[in-house]
Every structure is written in C-alpha cells, then in structure tokens.
Structure 1
Amino acid sequence: MCGRYSLSKSKIELEERFQAELVADFNPRYNIAPTQLLPVITSDSPKGFSFFYWGITPDFGQNKPVAQKLINAKAETINEKISFKGSFQKRRCLVPADGFFEWKKLGKKTKIPYRFTLRDEALFAFAGIWEEYETVSGESHHTFLILTSQRNEVVGEIHDRMPVIISRDQEKKWLDKYTSESDLLAMLKPYPGELMMSYTVSPLVNSVQNDSPGIIRKTSPMDQFGNYTLFG
C-alpha cells in the first residue's frame, strides 16, 4: 500500500512540471498522510490543480467519515471492482509527488522508514482516481485514492506493493477520457526499478504531526524509537 508521500517542490516547480495552474497558495509538504487536502490534476480539469481529500468513499458506502475511507486500490482489479470501476472509467487523476515512504520490518516490533524517489529526485505522478461524495451534513467533498501494483526490485526489498507511477509521456493519456481500457490497464505496472532509488530517513516520519525538511533527509538506519541499527 501507499500510506505516506512527499511533495517538497515549490508552486513554480509544480506548475512548470505539469503545465497546470496552481491558483491556491502551496507550501512544500514533506510528510503527506491520508485525510489531508492535497493537489491533484483531474481528467475534468487537466490545465489546473484541484485540491481533494486523500481517501475515497466507494459508491456503495456514501456518507462515511473521511477517516474511514479507503486510500489505495489495487491496479490488478481496478476495472472489476464495482466500488472503483466507475471512477476508473470516468474520473482519473494525477497525484503529484516527489517521493513516498515505506517501512522495513525487522522482527515483530522493529521497523525502519525508507523514502523512495526517482534517481534524479524529480517530480512524478501517481495514478489516481477521484470521487465526489456527500457528508452526513449534506456538504459535497471531492476525494482521491492512489492505485497500487506489484513492487519492482527497489521497493521489493522493503514492501510487496508500491504506488503506480505514471510515466511522464503517458500522463496526458491517463487523463484523456477517450483512452481505451486496455491502454489504461497497460500503464498500471511497476515503475522501472533502475530509474528509482531508496534511502533511510528519520523516524520522525512516523508521526503525521511532523512535516519539515528533516523528514526527507537521508539518515543512518534508525528504528521507530530512534535507535540506530545495523540492519538497514
């Protein structure tokens, strides 16, 4: 699964990379977590950034609190699940990021946080789908989730799944409402491992309250308690 990522670039960098306008103010984010309001680019508005909540309410489960919603969907069954099929066909989005986090488990109680990026640490986009739902108070909100696939050789050392990264030359096609289902499914594969890298980061990333540049700095391997370990 993908439960934490970063978007540490500036507003100008985001606009230049995705050729889309970011009207709202944006501060770099180093420790993004579910339920937060975050920038995405949708199939309905590909020339601008929208701000949606990370976490989606399936069609069959409206009016659930944000915290109870799903945050990921498996790419292998995205066109089969009733809860996601409509969004996959009609409401796709790009989720800008420059890294994501996973935790390596050592034994039953110890885990070490890792950050995964492209080798040049450039911006990229996760494959996402979005939905509109109504809260119990009648308010309308937009939410998104991130698609996941089997891991590549880099992520596979830490975790058995990874978020789907859409290659830059396929991003417009992912958003295009007329792209065939077979072409869409062909994009949902592990990103080439030779184009990625990983490194250990501070256990500060474990708390969503921490959101500072220190989160994404390379550190010596430490467990969730801040103890250095030789098994990174």
Structure 2
Amino acid sequence: MAPSRAAAVVCATDTGPGLRSLTWGFVPAWAKNPKMPKPINARAETLHQKPMFRDGFRTSRCLVLCDGYFEWQRHADGTKQPFYITLEDGAPFVMAGLWARNITLTAQPIESFCVITTEASEFCRDIHPRMPMILDHTHHQEWLKDSSLDLDTATAMLRPNSRRLRLSPVSRFVNSPANDSPQCISPISQA
C-alpha cells in the first residue's frame, strides 16, 4: 500500500461495519482547495485539536487492514534503510484511521483515509520515533461507532502498541510506489 493508492478499509455503515476501497491521503469533507496537502498520517496526540482531523475523529473513524507496514531508519550518513514491520506471530492486524468523503472538489466523490500514529513502542523505537496505532481487537467495534462514542473513550483507545513486533530489513526496491510485488517484503541480510 503506497500513498495515493486504494486500500481496504472498514468503515461504519447503516447496516454495520463495511469494507470499502479508499484512497490513502486524507481529504476532509470540507476541503475546497485541490492543492491542499493530503496527509497520510495523523498524530494521535493532536487529533481532537487539528481542524484537518477534528471532525473525522468525532464521526468518521475507520479500521485499516494490513499484514505489516514499512518504516525507514535514517543512518548517520543520511541513507535510509527500509524495514517491513509485522506482529511477531505474523498475524494480520488493524490500524486506527480516519476517513472522509469529499463531494466538493471533483465531479466524483473522493473517499480517502489516513492512519493514526503514536509514539513508537519499545520494539521499534530504534527504527523510527513514531508508528501506526495498532488497535487491540477488543476495540474494533467500539472504534467504528459514530459520534455516540465518547471522545474520552476514543482517546483512551489510542495507546502505543504493546505487542511484540518483527522488524525485517528489506531492499530499497520498496522505495518506489511503482514496485508492488512480494519482493517489497522479502527480508535481506544487513551488513
């Protein structure tokens, strides 16, 4: 999954949770400027304060389904080493997100999302200071509730992940969004 590409996201619907294909890069419902930034991440600590995310945090939370994610570790010489990060047991997981449906920018509605991030857990702090918010399975249904979910309760769900993670260095092949193949997640040995 690369920014500006579609991804499988679970959103609340009138009949319960539903799987949708949304574009990664958040375009708020109120946006009128097509050149405005389309953030892929939103900091958990400031969701309720930032105009870009405030409404989405109140009413349009989503679940982003994945097997793992990429993060880049910066070396002293300026180079970056990509890592593919998964749960230690390899199980799929869910990241907390926000989604929006914008009907003002184009003739077709733009449905988009961003991933909520938090401070990195002890398992990946050496790679990057932040990480996606991995939601515990006990919070999935509650996270999807609309404005009936108390904001304090929603905020309390946004705690750093405590599950063990596997950090696998991968080839820089992953650096190009055009490369969408299993080679992106193939571990390499580090020198």
CA contact (8 A) 2:8 2:65 kept: yes
Q: Which residue of 2 aligns with 1:163?
A: 132
Q: Which residue of 1 aligns with 2:26?
A: 56
Q: Which residue of 1 aligns with 2:171?
A: 202
SS in structure 1 of the partner of residue 160 of structure 2: coil
Change in 2 beyond 3 A, CA 1:69/1:172: same
Aligned residues: 189
CA contact (8 A) 1:38 1:53 kept: yes
Are 1:191 and 2:137 matched, yes or no?
no
Looking at structure 2, the residues matched to 42 and 121 of structure 1 have their Cα atoms a distance apart, in angstroms, of: 24
Unmatched 5+ stretches in structure 1: 1-31, 222-229
Once the 2 structures are TM-superposed, how far is the Cα of residue 180 of structure 1 from its aligned partner? 1.4
Once the 2 structures are TM-superposed, how far is the Cα of residue 48 of structure 1 from its aligned partner? 2.5
More helix by share: 1
Once the 2 structures are TM-superposed, how far is the Cα of residue 79 of structure 1 from its aligned partner? 1.1
CA contact (8 A) 2:17 2:144 kept: no
Aligned positions of 1:1-232 closer than 5 A: 32-44=1-13, 46-58=16-28, 61-64=31-34, 68-134=37-103, 136-177=105-146, 178-192=148-162, 194-221=163-190, 230=191
SS in structure 2 of the partner of residue 159 of structure 1: coil
Change in 2 beyond 3 A, CA 1:108/1:186: same
CA contact (8 A) 1:104 1:114 kept: yes
SS in structure 2 of the partner of residue 157 of structure 1: coil
Looking at structure 2, the residues matched to 155 and 60 of structure 1 have their Cα atoms a distance apart, in angstroms, of: 35
CA contact (8 A) 1:62 1:134 kept: no
SS in structure 1 of the partner of residue 159 of structure 2: coil
Looking at structure 2, the residues matched to 110 and 149 of structure 1 have their Cα atoms a distance apart, in angstroms, of: 24
Looking at structure 1, the residues matched to 51 and 29 of structure 2 have their Cα atoms a distance apart, in angstroms, of: 8
Q: Residue type matched to 1:106 in 2? A: H
CA contact (8 A) 1:59 1:83 kept: no
CA contact (8 A) 1:113 1:202 kept: yes
Once the 2 structures are TM-superposed, how far is the Cα of residue 60 of structure 1 from its aligned partner? 5.7
User: What value does the CA root-mean-square deviation take over the aligned residues?
Assistant: 1.8
TM-score, structure 2 normalization: 0.91
Query: After TM superposition, what 4+ stretches of structure 1 lie above 6 angstroms from structure 2?
Result: none
CA contact (8 A) 2:28 2:101 kept: no
Looking at structure 2, the residues matched to 169 and 110 of structure 1 have their Cα atoms a distance apart, in angstroms, of: 39
Q: Give % identity.
A: 34
Looking at structure 2, the residues matched to 136 and 171 of structure 1 have their Cα atoms a distance apart, in angstroms, of: 31
CA contact (8 A) 1:63 1:135 kept: no
CA contact (8 A) 1:63 1:134 kept: no
